[in-house]
């Protein structure tokens, strides 16, 4: 067991938020435009990607988070991109858990820092 029950709650709550976000993007017919009127779909096309490719990538991310939701102890098996998303969400939303799970939050950050450091040493 890598994580405490409070840390597992935090991990699952982050997964739930990511599910909502990914579902919203996938279900949106168009991705919108930048302020200059350039559509996001046009940007994808310029980089050799289309909406289907984009959605497939989002579904892959969704599946990774589903595995994490089902088994929070698998956090460190996330792909690099999904881990970056997780870290960003944890950072942006840490106030949600700061009062309720202060030690669990701090120790989760410590575990992530150690994992990131180990990965840097290995690479």
| Average pLDDT for 30-53 | 80
Instruction: Give a three-class secondary structure readout of the chain.
Output: CCCCHHHHHHHHHHHHHHHHHHHHHHHCCCCCECCCCCEHHHHHHHCCCCHHHHHHHHHHHHHHHHHHHHCHHHHHHCCHHHHHHHHHHHHHHCHHHHCCCHHHHHHHHHHHHHHHHHHHHHC
**Is residue 56 over pLDDT 80?**
yes
**Is residue 40 over pLDDT 90?**
no
**Is residue 18 over pLDDT 90?**
yes
**Is residue 112 over pLDDT 80?**
yes
At 11 the pLDDT is: 98
């Amino acid at each position: 067991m890598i994580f405490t029950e409070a840390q597992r709650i935090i991990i699952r709550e982050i997964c739930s938020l990511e599910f909502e976000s990914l579902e919203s993007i996938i279900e949106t017919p168009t991705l919108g435009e930048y302020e200059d009127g350039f559509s996001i779909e046009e940007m994808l096309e310029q980089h050799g990607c289309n909406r289907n490719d984009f959605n497939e990538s989002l579904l892959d991310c969704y599946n990774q988070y589903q595995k994490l939701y089902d088994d929070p102890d698998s956090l460190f098996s996330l792909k690099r991109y999904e881990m970056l998303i997780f870290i960003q969400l944890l950072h942006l939303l840490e106030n949600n858990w700061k009062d309720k799970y202060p030690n669990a939050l701090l120790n989760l950050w410590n575990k992530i820092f150690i994992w990131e450091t180990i990965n840097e040493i290995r690479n």
